[in-house]
Chains A and B, each alone.
Chain A
Amino acid sequence: MKYLLMIYENEKIWESLSQEETQKILGEYAVFTESLEKSGSYIAAEALEPTPTATTVRIRDGKRLTTDGPFAETREQLGGFYLVEAKDLDEAIAMASRIPNARTGSIEIRPIMDYSKNMG
């Protein structure tokens, strides 16, 4: 099964980190990503620019409304993701718990919808 591991955390934490600390975490990410690639679980991963760069679009009554900022103001924001292949939820949980920011933020795991099965 495919799972999206969404990394949520308080962006302000990053601002408060020293350059060394940031480098250390990025190093951990590199090691984690490499381990996923080696095990064949890796599909894709990206980090996102912080929420001040976000723009939200809605169509209401056929009219487009474009606003500044993320969809919802929350304590933790989506900062990046991994798309992985895992045998089951337990394997996905094991991967998610190895994401460096699992220690400071939260990782939401969502299965990717499989159209071939759900429509069958």
Chain B
Amino acid sequence: MSPWLSILEQTYRTDHGRIVATLIRVMGGDFASAEELVQEAFEAALQQWPQDGVPAEPRAWLIRAARNKAVDRMRRGVRLGTRVDELEVLARLEQELSTAPDGADWQAHPDDSLRLLFTCCHPALAVDIQVALALRTLCGLTTEEIARAFLVPPATMAQRLVRAQRKIRDAGIPYVIPALDALAERTHGVLHAIYLLFSEGYAATEGDALLRVDLCAEALRLARLARSLLPRNGEVASLLSMLLLHHSRHRARVAQDGGLVLLDRQDRSLWDASEMEEGLAQLEAALALGAFGPYTIQAAIAALHAQARRPEDTDWEQISALYHRLSELAPGPVVELNRAAAVAMAKGPEHGLALVDDLEASGRLTSYHLLPAARAELLRRLGRREESAAAYRRALALVRTEPERRFLEERLREVI
């Protein structure tokens, strides 16, 4: 790939959300126009960077390009925002560029992303769409990626996103971090969006790379911001704890060849000790605040893994008990699948297999490769090699990332 293109892609991944967040603020909260202008700015970069070279400050360049697009539109008599005076918008854009001439001074508005996140999670929007909108706008995930996360067709998701943006504009949902008394209503959505963002980064649903480090880093950054904004909220501390504990293992999770390394085979010396300690401290803080929600339980599970020196020291009894509680608090097929794996470790593969079979019989998760993959693994441990191979083949037909495909192919070779 040419260097300018990879820099542009990198900029898109790390800065798209923040550029959109800034534009929405200066445009007086007009999501649709801000997104269009940023989109056009990236298109301009696609044309100009190969000729003119990569600018020293890509982010400032892109904001300037978006500003120029706004001016163009005004000259052509196209209405910009629907809520604000156009000259006011331009003045604010100018100010944005003058206070950050090198594009480095993002500290001036450290809360732009959080403001965007809280606006997307306004209770006047349906809960599902809050999170989808946050992922789309703040994190630059594609409509296809979001549709997959929500298990709906892309066209349906696209329609919902457009409707939500229209409601923000037409119903006058403000672009602010809400007052303290209104924060509680929105925290749920905000935490869910951060969680999904991290999940997408930690286990990318398609592509060549297993991890999207940029998404994980952004999720961690937002979780820390939320934690500082809501210091008395135990669920926020729980979420931060859980993300830190998972993230502390990320180097051990990918092999040198880019392949997936499961927990039991990871080199534990590669685990990041300081992140792990911080994660454990956040879990303690959460428990002290009286938290015992889904994120707290998931953090506790991650903490039990973190505390095991060797894989065989893992307290699977307690982990499967925690999964049981989690499946009561936040029931869902993926939780069931994880619970089955924990039960298999605690009580033996046949117990896990019974749970996986129940799950399969329920008809949920039919397109999720980890269901047949888990089944294959349990059958392999039970010595039922032919059935195991068949399950690996089914998983291979569903898998979407290259490293996971290779992992499954290796396992398949072991049983045939």
Q: Which of A106-120 contact B (CB under 8 A)?
A: 109, 111, 117-118, 120
Q: Which of A86, A109, A111 contacts B170 (CB 8 A)?
A: A111
B354 contacts the other chain (CB 8 A): no
B171 contacts the other chain (CB 8 A): yes
Q: Which of A3, A90, A117, A118 contacts B174 (CB 8 A)?
A: A90
B172 contacts the other chain (CB 8 A): yes
* Cβ proximity bits B215-249 to A, threshold 8 Å, 1 near / 0 not: 00000000000000000000000000000000000
| CB pair B82 A117 closer than 8 Å | yes
* Total chain B interface residues with beta-carbon distance under 8 A: 13
| CB pair A89 B79 closer than 8 Å | no
Q: A109 contacts which chain B residues (CB < 8 A)?
A: 171
| CB pair B82 A88 closer than 8 Å | no
B178 contacts the other chain (CB 8 A): yes
Shortest distance between the CB of B115 and any CB in chain A (Å): 13
| CB pair B82 A89 closer than 8 Å | no
How far, in angstroms, from A118 to B122 measured CA to CA in the complex? Answer: 23
B124 contacts the other chain (CB 8 A): yes
The closest CB in chain A to the CB of B178 belongs to A90
A87 contacts the other chain (CB 8 A): yes
A1 contacts the other chain (CB 8 A): yes
| CB pair B173 A88 closer than 8 Å | yes
Tell me what chain B mostly uses at the interface: helix, strand, loop, or mixed.
loop
Q: B172 contacts which chain A residues (CB < 8 A)?
A: 1, 3, 86-89, 92, 111
Q: Which of B128-183 contact A (CB under 8 A)?
A: 170-174, 176, 178, 182
| CB pair A89 B182 closer than 8 Å | no
| CB pair A120 B171 closer than 8 Å | no
| CB pair B171 A111 closer than 8 Å | yes
Given contacts A111-B170, A111-B171, A111-B172, contact A90 B182 (CB under 8 A): yes
* Total chain A interface residues with beta-carbon distance under 8 A: 14
Shortest distance between the CB of B195 and any CB in chain A (Å): 25
Q: A92 contacts which chain B residues (CB < 8 A)?
A: 172
How far, in angstroms, from A87 to B170 measured CA to CA in the complex? Answer: 13
Q: B178 contacts which chain A residues (CB < 8 A)?
A: 90
A86, A89, A92, A117 — most chain B CB neighbours (10 Å): A89
Q: Which of B163-207 contact A (CB under 8 A)?
A: 170-174, 176, 178, 182
Shortest distance between the CB of B28 and any CB in chain A (Å): 10
A86, A90, A111, A118 — most chain B CB neighbours (10 Å): A90
How far, in angstroms, from A118 to B166 measured CA to CA in the complex? Answer: 12
Q: B182 contacts which chain A residues (CB < 8 A)?
A: 90
Q: A1 contacts which chain B residues (CB < 8 A)?
A: 172
How far, in angstroms, from A77 to B178 measured CA to CA in the complex? Answer: 31
Q: Which of A66-120 contact B (CB under 8 A)?
A: 86-90, 92-93, 109, 111, 117-118, 120
Q: B122 contacts which chain A residues (CB < 8 A)?
A: 89
How far, in angstroms, from A88 to B171 measured CA to CA in the complex? Answer: 8
| CB pair B174 A87 closer than 8 Å | yes
| CB pair A88 B170 closer than 8 Å | no
Q: A120 contacts which chain B residues (CB < 8 A)?
A: 79
* Cβ proximity bits B96-132 to A, threshold 8 Å, 1 near / 0 not: 0000000000000000000000000010100000000
| New A-B contacts (17) at CB < 8 Å, excluding given A109-B171, A120-B79 | A3-B172, A87-B172, A88-B172, A88-B173, A88-B174, A89-B171, A89-B172, A89-B174, A90-B173, A90-B174, A90-B176, A90-B178, A90-B182, A111-B170, A111-B172, A117-B82, A117-B83
